[in-house]
Structure 1
Amino acid sequence: MRISHKLQKAHEDANSKPTFSFEFFVPKTSQGVQNLYDRMDRMYNYNPQFIDVTWGAGGRLSNLTTDIVQTAQSVLGLETCMHLTCTNMPIELIDKALKDAYDSGCQNILALRGDPPIDGGEWTAVEGGFTYAKDLVKYIRTKYGDHFDIGVAAYPEGHTEEPDQDVLIEYLKEKVDVGADFIITQMFYDVENFIRWCEKVRARGISIPIIPGLMPISSYSAFKRRATWSEISIPKHFEDRLQPVKDDDQLVRDVGTELLVELCNKLVESGHVNHLHFYTMNLEKSSVMILEDLHLIAEEKEKSLDTLPWRKSLNPTRTKETVRPIFWKNRKYSYVTRTQDWDEFPNGRWGDSNSAAFGDIELFTHGVLRQSPKRSIELWGKPSSIQDISALVVNYLTGKVNSLPWSDTPVTSEIDSIKDQLVALNQSGIITINSQPKVNGVPSSDSTYGWGPKNGYVYQKQYLEFLIPKAKVQALVANIEAINKPFNSSDNYKDNYNILTYFIIDNNDDLSSNTKDDSANAVTWGIFPGQEVLQPTIVEKVSFLAWKDEVYRIAQEWSTIFDNDEDVASKTAIHSIIDDYALVNIVDNDFVGQDKIFSLFENL
């Protein structure tokens, strides 16, 4: 959705709270990009109206900008605004960037002239490029009509090349006249000056939203450096309060938070501002502290009418996607990547799962293990035995570790009711991968299990996915059959009714199952007023086979981190998962009776 439309909708009620957004810049390393995605993922839960991503002018960083925009829109489900500058940008590169944004579903561009060269000198346009931001705005509007919301920059305290505020407002009016939809300002701390500037802007007939750019204060040196670089004034009361604590970063952050909260409250009270934009510098804590003190972070994110139990993509090719295999519950990056060319999403149903549903595992040019070798060791250490790997999973289940090689996101409160059983399984040498407890008609507003429209009810079958020593598979199957037998022998079920259904496969593709090849088993569903049943997560064969490839590839890549002689025990331990363990998933189709899955492992 376009930013101006989102803000209008968010503030239809005159008494609505201010909204907010975050800016991120493009990291210089691949691991930095990965860490940024993780941070964006967490900050999604604060419910920003949008994020924006700065432009790396020309070369590799500009390509990363479009990659980050694509991931934010398609994988993370974040409304995204892409910066686009004239610096080092001939029209063919501008066209490519705009097409990439368009294809990803991004509908918001911040059109900027860009900064002059770092080594000094005047700004000059490249051959075949634009000289002013207004030229870029006009070009985007001419080529794409009203598809994009176009933002422009403004400078309440003047610009290095033009200190006269009134002249700059005239330049701003020119950008608005050729098609700009909203304004994001340079950072500032002098709120009184900003309010006077807003009055001048409105007096000039500029009526589009003004979004103030706010820089949190995380350390005194960074605060002074950024203010000097941006050539903005620092109010005396800022210096008076920060100077005495300047050598204590924690106190600086606390005092800085208080100062920014005061500033934000004055902005909102002025009536000129109802949205706050934070320059995060790819950090999280300082911005969040300000939002918490402003009481803008809700205890529970309000559920929208189209909320699903997985993060919905904003890519236009996936807008009708309503079903996903549960195997990728904690690996949304790889799922979206592997299904990005799948032609069944427009149907809004699972459809034919054989129709190019999963791209080849080889499409991951940087590997399926999302962390660098160094970062992997920082996160997961050097496990030298299966017991160490099991202990790592236990630490994940208990919140001491935030991710695993096969799980990108932290564990949630959903597992609390089965946490003790999961911990016990891992301590016995069975490595759990994914799970969910049974749920029988919980209100859709429930803070743990709820999703979807209000006044509905949600249901879940108990599900468990795990790696088990192949030597124990036969006994496990016997235990499953013992539970299923009373139902299979009943006259009421002539066609093999299985309470417990399963898939078991090893790295050699030795597959066994008690399900039909073409069946899709819904393991989560919702009943809502006035609409059909939604069944957003399923278990079925084709996707399980694709997931199996990924699980064993993850183990393979993890083991290769330890190719040196001193880490041979770690390599051996991880590689034993590939050689000696089978991947299993079990669904308990009786979502109203006693739990059955965990009883399978007694005396196994």
Structure 2
Amino acid sequence: MKITDKLAQAHKDDKAAASFSFEFFTPKTSQGVQNLYDRMDRMYHLNPLFIDITWNAGGRLSTLTSEMVHTTSTVLGLETCMHLTCTNMPLQLIDDALQKAYLSGCQNILALRGDPPLDGSESTGDFKYAKDLIRHIRAKFGNHFCIGVAGYPEGHPEEPDHAKTLSYLKQKQDEGADFVVTQLFYDVDNFIDWCARCRGAGITLPIIPGIMPISNYNAFLRRAKWNNVAVPQSFIDRLAPIKEDDSRVREEGCLLMAELCQTLLDSKHVNHLHFYTMNLEKSTTMLLDSLHLVSNQTKQDYECENSKPWRKSLNPSRELENVRPIFWKNRKFSYIQRTNNWDEFPNGRWGDSRSPAFGSLDMFEHNIIRHSPTKILQLWDRPTNSHELGELIVRYLNNEIHCLPWSDTQATEEIDTIKPDLVQLNMNGVITINSQPKINGVKSTDHVFGWGPTNGYVYQKQYLEFLLPKTKLAKLVSQITAVNEENGYDTLNYFVTDAESNKLSETNVTDLSDVNAVTWGCFPGREIAQPTIVEKVSFLAWKDELYLILKKWSNVLLASSSDEEGEPDEANRLRDLKSSNFIQSLIKDYVLVNIVDNDYIQPSDTIFHILKNL
């Protein structure tokens, strides 16, 4: 959706709380990119109206901006605005970036001139000014893109005449710009006066102030100097005495910027705040809390309408997607990548409309785990047996670590009712991979389980996926059979497979074309929605992925044990080797099992009961 449309929708009620957005810049390392995606994923829950991603011209960094825009729109479901500069930019590179943004579903561009050459020479690009870039975007894409431009409340460093700076902004409006995002500032009175001067100059675009949180005294002064912005004496008076204490500077800086933001909002010149996060989280969230925007920010009806148990993609090629296999519940990056080339998506019943295959694992084997080898060792250390691996998973369940090799996302409140059972299983050698508790008719507005339109009810079957020693499989199947015979129907359905097989080795599902909906919702005046399912083809595709994850983890440990650089001591080398061998044993000696409890009404946890008796 266009930013101007989102602004209008968010503020159609004059009493609505202020909206806000975040800016992120492209990191310099692959691990930095993955860490930033995780941070964006967390900050998604703050409900920003949009995010924007800066442009870095030249080399891979220029393509990285496009890659990140695709990921934030398609995988993370974040409304994204892409920065695009034109200084020293050949036309082909500009057009390629615009086309990639278009195909990703991005509808917002921040059109910028960019920094001039450092040697003082003239730009060699096809466009000299931002207005030229705006004109080109309009000529090539019409009104598809909502175009933002930069504003300078304290004047442009290359133009001392403030009247001319305003006239240049008016020219960008006349060429087709839709909104203004301003440079950072600290003099709130000057900003309010500048807004009035903009209106007097005929500039009618929405003005979005750029807000830079304060986290460190020296960085605060440095950024002000870089951007040629004035620092009021009141800021210095309150921050200088505590400049050596970063924690106190962050707290006092939060108060100062909260006062600035509140003055802006009270002035009625703005109703939206744009935060320059510097790819950090704490200072921005502190400021939002101080302004009471997190708790007061309510989702608009169209956002609630689009919410699912999984994050809705904004890519137009996936707009009809309304069901996914539960196996990728915590692996949305790989699921999107593996289905990226599908020409159609399941319509809610999965069967006949399913595309023919998931993408090959070969295409992303090198990053099957979204972390560098060093980060992998930092996160998960070196488990050498099932008990140590169980302890690692328990740490994840308790949110002491934020991810596992097969789970990119943090454990949520959803598991609280079954957490004691999950802990017990992992400490007893059953390695849990994915789970959900049963729920029966919870309101769709419930803060833990709710999704979809209001005034509805949602349901879940209990689901558990786990790695089990092959020696225990026969007893598990026997116990499942006994439960089903006692109940007179297949209360429990299960799939079993192993690393070497390309088919199910055990199951009690008689018709393997059947789909088992494990999450569904009932809403007024609508068909029943079934957004997550269990079925054979996708389970086998997921099985290959999981065992490849384990293989990659084992290889990282093996490489660490044989790495001569740094000369690791013998004890550490042997532990690395032992850990690698243990992870390999999960591939050779364990089966992957999932069980669905079809009785979502009875409160008993049948799945956990039978597993505890193995």
* Residue 165 of structure 1: how far off its partner (Å): 1.4
Q: Which moved more, 1:589-598 or 1:72-81?
A: 589-598
| Contact kept? 1:317, 1:346, Cα under 8 Å | no
* Residue 348 of structure 1: how far off its partner (Å): 5.7
Please state if 1:514 is matched with 2:508: yes
How does the TM-score come out when normalised to structure 2?
A: 0.95
Whole-angstrom distance in 2 between the partners of 1:273 and 1:163: 26
Please state if 1:204 is matched with 2:201: yes
User: Could you tell me which residue of structure 1 aligns to residue 412 of structure 2?
Assistant: 412
| Contact kept? 1:156, 1:194, Cα under 8 Å | yes
| Contact kept? 2:323, 2:346, Cα under 8 Å | no
Q: Which moved more, 1:411-420 or 1:157-166?
A: 157-166
* Residue 487 of structure 1: how far off its partner (Å): 4.3
Which amino acid is the alignment partner of residue 267 of structure 2?
Answer: S
User: Could you tell me which residue of structure 2 aligns to residue 386 of structure 1?
Assistant: 386
Please state if 1:126 is matched with 2:121: no
User: Could you tell me which residue of structure 2 aligns to residue 480 of structure 1?
Assistant: 480
Query: In the alignment, which of 169, 186, 189 is matched to residue 186 of structure 2?
Result: 189
| Contact kept? 2:491, 2:597, Cα under 8 Å | yes
Q: Which moved more, 1:343-352 or 1:237-246?
A: 343-352
Whole-angstrom distance in 2 between the partners of 1:428 and 1:387: 7
Whole-angstrom distance in 2 between the partners of 1:40 and 1:366: 23
Whole-angstrom distance in 2 between the partners of 1:355 and 1:413: 33
| Contact kept? 2:24, 2:278, Cα under 8 Å | yes
Whole-angstrom distance in 1 between the partners of 2:530 and 2:95: 40
User: Could you tell me which residue of structure 1 aligns to residue 566 of structure 2?
Assistant: none
Query: In the alignment, which of 489, 495, 510 is matched to residue 503 of structure 1?
Result: 495
1:392-541 equivalent positions in 2, closer than 5 A: 392-488=392-488, 497-509=489-501, 511-515=505-509, 516-541=511-536
Whole-angstrom distance in 1 between the partners of 2:346 and 2:612: 45
16 and 176 in structure 1: CA distance in 2 versus 1, 3 angstrom threshold: same
* Residue 346 of structure 1: how far off its partner (Å): 7.3
| Contact kept? 1:344, 1:352, Cα under 8 Å | no
Please state if 1:168 is matched with 2:160: no
* Residue 347 of structure 1: how far off its partner (Å): 4.3
* Residue 498 of structure 1: how far off its partner (Å): 1.2
* Residue 301 of structure 1: how far off its partner (Å): 6.2
User: Could you tell me which residue of structure 1 aligns to residue 71 of structure 2?
Assistant: 71
* Residue 298 of structure 1: how far off its partner (Å): 2.0
* Residue 353 of structure 1: how far off its partner (Å): 6.7
| Contact kept? 2:348, 2:531, Cα under 8 Å | no
Query: In the alignment, which of 606, 609, 612 is matched to residue 599 of structure 1?
Result: 609
User: Could you tell me which residue of structure 2 aligns to residue 493 of structure 1?
Assistant: none
Query: In the alignment, which of 576, 579, 597 is matched to residue 588 of structure 2?
Result: 579
* Residue 59 of structure 1: how far off its partner (Å): 1.4
Whole-angstrom distance in 1 between the partners of 2:138 and 2:426: 57
| Contact kept? 1:70, 1:104, Cα under 8 Å | yes
Give the unaligned 5+ runs of structure 1: 489-496
User: Could you tell me which residue of structure 1 aligns to residue 578 of structure 2?
Assistant: 569
546 and 123 in structure 1: CA distance in 2 versus 1, 3 angstrom threshold: farther
Whole-angstrom distance in 2 between the partners of 1:370 and 1:299: 34
* Residue 248 of structure 1: how far off its partner (Å): 0.4
Which amino acid is the alignment partner of residue 511 of structure 1?
Answer: S
| Contact kept? 1:344, 1:350, Cα under 8 Å | no
Q: Secondary structure at the match of 1:531?
A: coil
Q: Deviations over 1:260-317 (max 9, x none)?
A: 0000011111111100000000000101111100000027964612211111100001
Q: Secondary structure at the match of 1:562?
A: helix
Whole-angstrom distance in 1 between the partners of 2:336 and 2:246: 40
1:338-357 equivalent positions in 2, closer than 5 A: 338-345=338-345, 347=347, 349-352=349-352, 355-357=355-357
Whole-angstrom distance in 1 between the partners of 2:147 and 2:481: 62
Q: Deviations over 1:508-530 (max 9, x none)?
A: 11621111210110000000000
Give the unaligned 5+ runs of structure 2: 563-572
| Contact kept? 1:518, 1:541, Cα under 8 Å | yes
| Contact kept? 2:80, 2:108, Cα under 8 Å | yes
> Quick one: percent identity of the two aligned structures?
59
Please state if 1:555 is matched with 2:550: yes
Whole-angstrom distance in 2 between the partners of 1:500 and 1:321: 28
Whole-angstrom distance in 1 between the partners of 2:347 and 2:122: 49
| Contact kept? 2:351, 2:515, Cα under 8 Å | no
Whole-angstrom distance in 1 between the partners of 2:297 and 2:101: 31
* Residue 344 of structure 1: how far off its partner (Å): 2.7
* Residue 58 of structure 1: how far off its partner (Å): 2.1
Q: Which moved more, 1:72-81 or 1:160-169?
A: 160-169
Which amino acid is the alignment partner of residue 132 of structure 2?
Answer: D
Please state if 1:152 is matched with 2:144: no
* Residue 399 of structure 1: how far off its partner (Å): 1.6
Q: Which moved more, 1:390-399 or 1:380-389?
A: 380-389
405 and 300 in structure 1: CA distance in 2 versus 1, 3 angstrom threshold: farther
Q: Which moved more, 1:444-453 or 1:422-431?
A: 444-453
Q: Which moved more, 1:505-514 or 1:278-287?
A: 505-514
* Residue 365 of structure 1: how far off its partner (Å): 5.5
| Contact kept? 1:318, 1:346, Cα under 8 Å | no
Q: Secondary structure at the match of 1:561?
A: helix
User: Could you tell me which residue of structure 1 aligns to residue 272 of structure 2?
Assistant: 275
User: Could you tell me which residue of structure 2 aligns to residue 231 of structure 1?
Assistant: 228
* Residue 383 of structure 1: how far off its partner (Å): 1.4
Q: Deviations over 1:569-594 (max 9, x none)?
A: 11011111111111000000011123
Which amino acid is the alignment partner of residue 549 of structure 1?
Answer: D
Q: Secondary structure at the match of 1:297?
A: helix
Which amino acid is the alignment partner of residue 546 of structure 1?
Answer: A
User: Could you tell me which residue of structure 2 aligns to residue 368 of structure 1?
Assistant: 368
Whole-angstrom distance in 1 between the partners of 2:608 and 2:266: 57
Please state if 1:15 is matched with 2:15: yes
Q: Secondary structure at the match of 2:418?
A: helix
Which amino acid is the alignment partner of residue 444 of structure 1?
Answer: S
Q: Deviations over 1:317-359 (max 9, x none)?
A: 1111110000000000001110111223274652437633410
Q: Deviations over 1:1-56 (max 9, x none)?
A: 00001001100001111100000000000000000000000000000000000001
Whole-angstrom distance in 1 between the partners of 2:360 and 2:399: 33
| Contact kept? 1:20, 1:277, Cα under 8 Å | yes
Whole-angstrom distance in 2 between the partners of 1:356 and 1:362: 17
| Contact kept? 2:304, 2:453, Cα under 8 Å | yes
| Contact kept? 1:322, 1:349, Cα under 8 Å | no
User: Could you tell me which residue of structure 2 aligns to residue 284 of structure 1?
Assistant: 281
Q: Which moved more, 1:179-188 or 1:362-371?
A: 362-371
Which amino acid is the alignment partner of residue 133 of structure 2?
Answer: L
| Contact kept? 2:348, 2:530, Cα under 8 Å | no
Which amino acid is the alignment partner of residue 513 of structure 1?
Answer: T
Whole-angstrom distance in 2 between the partners of 1:58 and 1:346: 39
User: Could you tell me which residue of structure 2 aligns to residue 494 of structure 1?
Assistant: none
447 and 505 in structure 1: CA distance in 2 versus 1, 3 angstrom threshold: same
CA RMSD of aligned residues (A): 1.4
Whole-angstrom distance in 2 between the partners of 1:579 and 1:68: 37
Whole-angstrom distance in 1 between the partners of 2:462 and 2:608: 10
User: Could you tell me which residue of structure 2 aligns to residue 331 of structure 1?
Assistant: 331
